[in-house]
Structure 1
Amino acid sequence: MVLKRLFTAIGVTAAALALSLTATTSAAAAPADAPTPVKSRIESAAVPDTAVEQRTCRARFSQGVNQRLKADATSTILGIIPADTWVQASCTRVAGGEYNACGLASDFWMEVYWNGNWGHSVWSCVKDWEYTS
């Protein structure tokens, strides 16, 4: 009887150890380079934290793309950004409605400033993107 309890205790301890190692390994295996989508600057009226370094970016697209009011393929079109035209852009991508563009299916969008308006354009057509400050 004592032996049975001893082996049961060893088995429970081994199972707990195996589960803790599995949980740690799964968390460590998560991709670190995938950016977390952030709430759109257009939808947020919050004042930015001045302690955080503010960055500005620009982008250009491989083909002419629609600039839309919201990050959705059915949203109002504000204009068409011609291919290879540099535009002021957000430094992060945002999640939105799904679309097919430039040979890819995605739901990531980029906020862009074009013709005096902030709007959204498809992330999959971004040809070049860079920090400007």
Structure 2
Amino acid sequence: MNKFTKGVILVMKKFFTAIGVIAAALALSFSAMSSATAAPRVPVDMPTPVKSRIESTAVVPATATEQRTCRARFTEGVNHRRLAEVGSAILEVIPADTWVPVSCERGSGGQYSACGLTSDYWMEVFWNGAWGYSAWSCVQDWEYTS
């Protein structure tokens, strides 16, 4: 083989190697883009979460550091409990449609079924001189008072 032929073969090897590297890079970039933009798979039998009756109507304060007070009333008489658990001592029953001072945020606790919903969210409530907890799912109206 002469020098010219060896030189052509070497150039062709480099050329085809470069094409192979470029093709591999393109294939990897396309597969990465398609997996990043693919929608997450959701099981068909997964239940849709139930939104609280008041969750979408509450107005959020302008700043998070702003001190607020709130009040709420319940759709039916609810237990006013010492702790946010179904087995906790019942302090009293808060009558339906009675406005009571409450915390401005719901909190998590033990799971319960009340007012047609199952939840683990509780509302901290001030009733007859004591702070306690009542079922969030029974809240009919909730609002900022200041």
For the criterion TM > 0.5, the same-fold answer is yes
Whole-angstrom CA distance in 1 between matches of 2:82 and 2:108: 14
- Partner amino acid, structure 2, of 1:66: N
Could you tell me which runs of 5 or more consecutive residues in structure 1 were left unpaired when the two chains were aligned. Answer: 27-32, 36-50
Higher-Rg structure is: 2
Counterpart amino acid of 1:122? Answer: A
Indicate the residue corresponding to 1:16 in structure 2. Answer: 32
| Residue 123 (1) aligns with residue 136 (2) | yes
Unaligned runs of 5+ in 2: 1-15, 41-50, 56-63
Q: Number of matched residues?
A: 110
| Aligned sequence identity (%) | 54
* Alignment pair present for 1:80 and 2:96: no
How large is the Cα RMSD of the aligned pairs? 2.4
Task: Pick one of 29, 51, 54 that aligns with 2:67.
Answer: 54
What is aligned with 2:105?
92
Deviation, structure 1 residue 18: 3.6
Runs of 4+ in 1 over 6 A off after TM superposition: none
Which stretch of the first structure deviates more once superposed, 75-84 or 11-20? 11-20
Query: TM-score scaled to structure 2, two decimals?
Result: 0.67
Distance 1:15 1:116 in 2: 63
Distance 1:16 1:113 in 2: 54
TM-superposed CA distance for 1:20, in Å, is 4.4
Give the Cα separation in 2 of the matches to 1:78 and 1:85: 16
TM-score by length of 1: 0.73
Shift of 1:78: 1.3
